[in-house]
A and B are shown apart, each in its own frame.
Chain A
């Protein structure tokens, strides 16, 4: 569609002293200004409302977690701000003999770190291979995986449970069992990173191979540094999924409390255990769960924005 060429409205002023003709743009008309302001205001109102909706549960959680367990109720109350602020709940989580919180937190951390590490390597290798190598059945593999990926993972729950049980990887073996589950099909998540690798010109690979690099050296020395944003993305995703997983963790570890992950443990408190007694502790646990994810995001987010391929090829 061709855009109509706009002729700017100008007033011509003759500057006699300087002996030149100047063009002066007239001020925007008042009604136009007013219209802009109205639009802006309504946009801001909408944004503020949305952010309140988003942030409310978070603040609710934080406030509850700081409510004193000793002087107020540990359960649900009908007011938002604590009457007495205290660290009771956190202290209990971290210090009490009754609390398995630290154990669960550790379990989750181990599972998430191992899964993230293995999964990242798998996803990146699979995507690079699918992006760069041409082999028989490549298209078929990609399509089959795409279709398989449309089935939710928990459909395989029962089969997986029996398999893991045979291998002794349930209950007390839940941690390696869960790592295995999270990592097993991770190569199927190649889609996004393959898309990214496809944007890196193939001639860089070719040039490096002629320069004397093996396929692996090309991957390590050329592609990985250029793919930083997608590597970071993959790590984050691979870390977050096991970190917050409930479905698989709840049944693989079922019946063995010390092997719960943090999501399962916390949920059991408010669901199975004493609901009124554990609510504020549950909230404090929730806040602590959010800490590593937030830290990871803050530390890694700047790599997202970096444009990295500039100047590689003509441009």
Chain B
């Protein structure tokens, strides 16, 4: 039975152990004072406050908070105590409200230990007061009662304590505030406020996805010839690591948000404390961290109602998202996951059927009765039939799911935007230089041996989170049939150029720059589309001097942007600095690289992605074996792609080995040249 008290009203207390709950709309300090028969406080030791939170029979919180629970044990009170006053005060120096008139009326309730409310009181009618006595528990003829007081003090705690007869009122009020501020400094700093980011694509792209390269060991046992290349398979993730970093194009604001340092426990310096306080008590950002407050997305296309018993007809873009691009991206990832899982179900059912049959056949063999007559044969037949039946069922389930996914791929593939589409998709013939960066980029196709016809687009988020490594080594091919290493190198370079061209095409004019290093000139033929259309920043660098020059310039850029970002001064970059994303295509590594150049390359691989400088290595790891383990981190940091189909990529859910196939321009097609010509033209007009 709860008594809702009004000011001045009292209520008997039947329990001695109580809890007093306080809820205020804003952080407040809760404290309690003990008084004698006249209501006087005998000394500072009779005040429970954040600095001395426990007294016999009384405990209060150490910090300012919007909600408090004070524990009271009236039986444990000293004999001399006749009154317990519950105080609330607004912490000063926290940047919060300064008087109770500005906040919601505080609510206090006296409850039993089981949570049942005995009495409650809402302190209303407050104006300029910054401290108040909310309740008092008092002893009357041997029994305890509670009274709603609601007496406020504009002069704050000092005035309140003076009124209760405490001589050291001012000192105590000061030390209480200090204790509160210290408590705030100790608490975990609130997350830095998110900088408003108008550009959706860039914001979404910051946590870019990295279908991790997994070395050439696809899946445990089936490691191909290149065993030394083996790197533990890492899964791809749809959203990748959630690292808050800005896009390097603008020297993004993300990392420039200063990290609020923890204040040590003994941080008594009030200036440091108050400086820190607004962080802890700062306003709460209610917006979803990865959602943007704009108009609701247009409704996704909905599938027509399916006839009962039939799966719904697939529709392109039938997924969640704010734009068609995002919906298609999510749909592709959904198909990817469904195919991975469906195949896992099929494989596990077949594995189980195999192991069960094996066990049953073993049993037949070990059973002496089976040696007589046809009994053994019959049992073997039964075991085989059970196996066949289960496998058949599993196959039926797989076929059903594959048919559905194939139908979905059939409508999704033609609907893809250029950045997600294969080069043979007609969308590339209607190519226009885009105005904004797309969400993701298709690096190629993925498929599983169970469904070789069902190709899942391999989409990675933009901007790239990590560099790419086009493996021109022989170990990379599935069966080693590409004995001709020249052929493989040519294909690797073609793959690199197709990807670089694709990146150039999907970025708005002037926001993506490609450099090339081709020390021996062996990639000249493959690089021709980039060189002839004039989309490269400069002709491919040749020789050791060229290598050193390009690396030095990119290293300097990384340094500058990094310094600016760390110093929070993104505006102070030199005016001549090219702010676009950079891609460095390196052919024939390590030819033309000296030790210094290798170090710089590693530096670019480590530090570049965060500031928009990416690597694309076209290399055979074997050829760089002379550097020993020095380069292992480099290879690991890059996403390995192969110029020929190879099953080296793992999905993030089940870890199947997926066969990757690069997205190459169909032979004889001029689509890449046409697209790059448009890019070059757009860049010329943009530069003017």
- Bound pair (A, B): no
Chain A residues in contact with chain B, CB under 8 A?
Answer: none
